[in-house]
Amino acid sequence: MRFWDLVSLISENLRRRKGRVFLTAVGVVIGTAAVVLLVSLATGLQKSATSNLWGITDLSRIDVYPNYGEGMYMEAVPMGGGGGGGTTSNVKLLTPTVLDEIAAIPGVKFVIPRDYMYGQGMIQFGKFETWAGLMGVKTDNLENLGYELDRGSMELRKGTIVAGSWVVQNFYVPNLRPGQEMPELPDILDQRVKLKLTKWTTDGQEVSRTVELKVVGVLREMRNEADGSFFVSMEELEAWNTWFNNGQRINRNKNGYNDVIVRAESPEVVMDVTQQINDMGYMAYSPQSTVEGINSFFVILQVVFGGIGAIALLVAAIGIANTMTMAILERTREIGLMKAVGATNRDVLTIFLGEAAGIGFLGGLGGALLGWVGGYALNVVSMQFLASQAQQQGYMSTGLTADTPLWLLLFAILFATLVGFLSGLYPALRAATLEPVTALKYE
């Protein structure tokens, strides 16, 4: 039998029993719509969850910290019988030698230590000022950290400073008279600011020191820790920290760094590099593992939701099997005739399987459409609700949204067709193996 003959015969047969085909397909429509809507919800939740994640934009990044915990614990509990090795501390510090080792791991592009300022600083710009969350990074360009530039440049040299996206908005004018409007901050880019460092001597004397810096760049909002910081070169920061420490310089070979950013050559190798650094005994954490964890949670959610919908489809499958069994009883003589005029068993099997799959396909088509429209309607309603809430609260939060990817629609239609096909299997086999003579005599 030729394919198009098959298709036209199947569609004729389905049209001949419109009412019943429609009722049977309604079951499939409901099941498919449930699958589409529920999986869309899970996908929508995943999207909003991922977009709410704090600054996971740079998937090549690994945060590495020294490992103190275990070593200190081991030292506190002396082993009976004594290990011969003369227990050197298990503390794993991030000394420059270690950083070189990490840099040598294949797939590592940059190893950049960071540090904070150990004292108080205030940045002054004209009559504006702000508390400075200052961070020193051991690189000459912030681009190496994966940061993104809004304007200016990200190069760090002696005497330059780069501002995070939010700190620019934190400048204020102190001692405003009541009722006086806060003036607007002029563009800070390429302007000179004063950094005023303050410390107290042991006898309570306030000592301060002022450094002049040029703002060479402002970062783009990345929703991570960079948004709230100013950046200077590590050398400069260490000089100020030495001043805070009363002239004592930190020995990195002895104390290591507390905070190191490793950037991998590509997101693909991140998990592997993270593992290797952990194996070396340091604490490596990649945002990607969070993303993966969240993603796998939502995959499970999708499967569970899809499964709930699939139960509805199972009920529909029983409906299809029932309809096909009825059809075969009613059309027994017709099956006999088909065989008498030369249809082979395979022809008959294919026709009835096709009819069952056809009901599944039609239901799947309707269900995919309904599920998609339903998700859209849900989004409209939820947007309206959120908008009314936003008026009260002053900000818009992400809420319940459905996200229907194309693959889901195609998959749902395919799946419904498969369900139809499988439900038709037994009835169609019975039709195909009917004895022609018995079928022709059937009343």
Partner 1 sequence: MSEQPVIQIRNLRKTFTMGKQKVHALAGVDLDIAPGSLTVIMGPSGSGKSTLLYLLGGLDRPTSGTIQVNGRYLDQMDENDLGLFRRKSVGFIFQSFNLIPSMTAMQNVIFPMRFTGVSNKERQKQAARMLSQVGLAKRALHRPTELSGGQQQRVAVARALVNNPPIILADEPTGNLDTTSGFGIMKLLSKLNLEGRTVIVVTHDMRMCQFASNIIYLLDGLTVSEAEYEAASHFEIPEEEPEEV
Q: How far is it, in rounded angstroms, from Cα 241 to Cα 118? A: 6
Residue 380 tokens, joined: 């409209």
Q: How far is it, in rounded angstroms, from Cα 318 to Cα 312? A: 10
Q: How far is the CB of 343 from partner 1 (least distance, A)?
A: 5
Minimum CB distance to partner 1 smaller for 59 or for 440: 440
Q: How far is the CB of 339 from partner 1 (least distance, A)?
A: 7
Q: How far is the CB of 348 from partner 1 (least distance, A)?
A: 9
Q: Which amino acid is at 426?
A: Y
- Non-local CB neighbours of 272 within 8 Å, separated by 6+ positions: 107
Q: Quick one: which of 157, 192, 214, 346 contacts partner 1 (CB under 8 A)?
A: 346
The binding track of 142-171 with respect to partner 1, each residue x by CB under 8 A or -, is ------------------------------
Q: Which range binds partner 1 by CB under 8 A, 48-56, 143-151, 208-216, 432-440? A: 432-440
Q: How far is it, in rounded angstroms, from Cα 144 to Cα 162? A: 14
Q: Quick one: which of 176, 207, 377, 437 contacts partner 1 (CB under 8 A)?
A: 437
The binding track of 326-345 with respect to partner 1, each residue x by CB under 8 A or -, is -------xx-xxxxxxxxxx
Q: How many CB atoms lie within 10 A of CB 362?
A: 22
Nearest in space to 312 (alpha carbons), one of 12, 5, 8, 36: 36
Does residue 18 belong to the site contacting partner 1 (CB under 8 A)? Answer: no
Minimum CB distance to partner 1 smaller for 87 or for 438: 438
Q: How far is the CB of 16 from partner 1 (least distance, A)?
A: 5
Grouping H, G, I as helix, E, B as strand and the rest as coil, residue 87 is coil
Q: How far is the CB of 353 from partner 1 (least distance, A)?
A: 16
Does residue 185 belong to the site contacting partner 1 (CB under 8 A)? Answer: no
Minimum CB distance to partner 1 smaller for 104 or for 341: 341
Q: How far is the CB of 320 from partner 1 (least distance, A)?
A: 21
The binding track of 289-328 with respect to partner 1, each residue x by CB under 8 A or -, is ----------------------------------------
Q: Quick one: which of 16, 151, 214, 249 contacts partner 1 (CB under 8 A)?
A: 16
Counting residues that bind partner 1 (by CB under 8 A) gives 24
Q: Quick one: which of 148, 225, 238, 347 contacts partner 1 (CB under 8 A)?
A: 347
The answer to whether the CB of 190 falls within 8 A of the CB of 216 is yes
Q: How many CB atoms lie within 10 A of CB 353?
A: 23
Q: How many CB atoms lie within 10 A of CB 191?
A: 12
Q: Which amino acid is at 194?
A: K
Q: How far is it, in rounded angstroms, from Cα 438 to Cα 333? A: 9
Type and span of the H or E element at 418 = helix 406-432
Q: How far is it, in rounded angstroms, from Cα 329 to Cα 431? A: 9
Q: How far is the CB of 2 from partner 1 (least distance, A)?
A: 6
The answer to whether the CB of 324 falls within 8 A of the CB of 423 is yes
Minimum CB distance to partner 1 smaller for 97 or for 344: 344
Q: Of all residues in the chain, what percent are helix, strand and coil, respectively (each to 5)?
A: 55, 20, 30
Summarize as ranges the residues that interact with partner 1 (CB under 8 A): 1-2, 5, 8-9, 16, 333-334, 336-347, 435-437, 440
